[in-house]
Amino acid sequence: MNLYAESSAVLAWLLAEPGGEVVREALATAQLVTASELTLIECSRVLIRSTQTGMLAEARAAEREALLRRSEAHWAILAIEAAVIERARRPFPLEPVRTLDAIHLASALVARRAIPDLVLLSLDDRVRSCGLRLGFDLLPA
């Protein structure tokens, strides 16, 4: 299976939140994991913010950041390039779509051009609903 890993799913895995175990299994068994640079930025920012607000100990955040960096070394990372920006600027099947979600959806669409069987791995209801309308299979199912 080939996955597009959206930030909500990756964060659930990194922070051992509900759904995180399903995400871990999907990431571990995927043939290919694709993610946007945005996923990496969002995940790192959440870890930083979590330490600053006292939600996460600095040592735990550093451990989670290291895990993210080890994992991303094996993933195909998509740049937020002109094709992604152009698609994100156009309407999606279910509006309104938040800006960062539009970048994720556009990134997944651009990736699907090269990987037709790409599955959208997300725990965000809005991203999932829009992804379904765009013809993506979803995980978790």
3 three-class SS: strand
Average pLDDT over residues 74-78: 98
Write down the pLDDT at residue 20: 97
Average pLDDT over residues 42-52: 98
Average pLDDT over residues 62-79: 97
The alpha-carbon radius of gyration of the chain (Å, integer) is 15
- Domain residues of the chain, as ranges? 2-139
Angle at 93 between CA 88 and CA 99, to 5 degrees: 30
Average pLDDT over residues 8-18: 97
Write down the pLDDT at residue 115: 98
Write down the pLDDT at residue 91: 98
Share of the chain above pLDDT 70, in %: 100
Write down the pLDDT at residue 36: 98
Query: Over the stretch 91-133, which tens digit does the pLDDT of each residue have?
Result: 999 999 999 999 999 999 999 999 999 999 999 999 999 999 9
Q: Average per-residue pLDDT in the chain?
A: 97
Residue 93 CA to residue 81 CA, distance in Å, equals 22
Which of the four pLDDT bands, split at 50, 70 and 90, describes residue 42? very high
Beta bridge partners of 33: 3
Asked if residues 4 and 120 have their Cβ atoms less than 8 Å apart, the reply is yes
Fold for the domain defined by 2-139: Rossmann fold (3.40.50)
Query: Over the stretch 15-34, which tens digit does the pLDDT of each residue have?
Result: 999 999 999 999 999 999 99
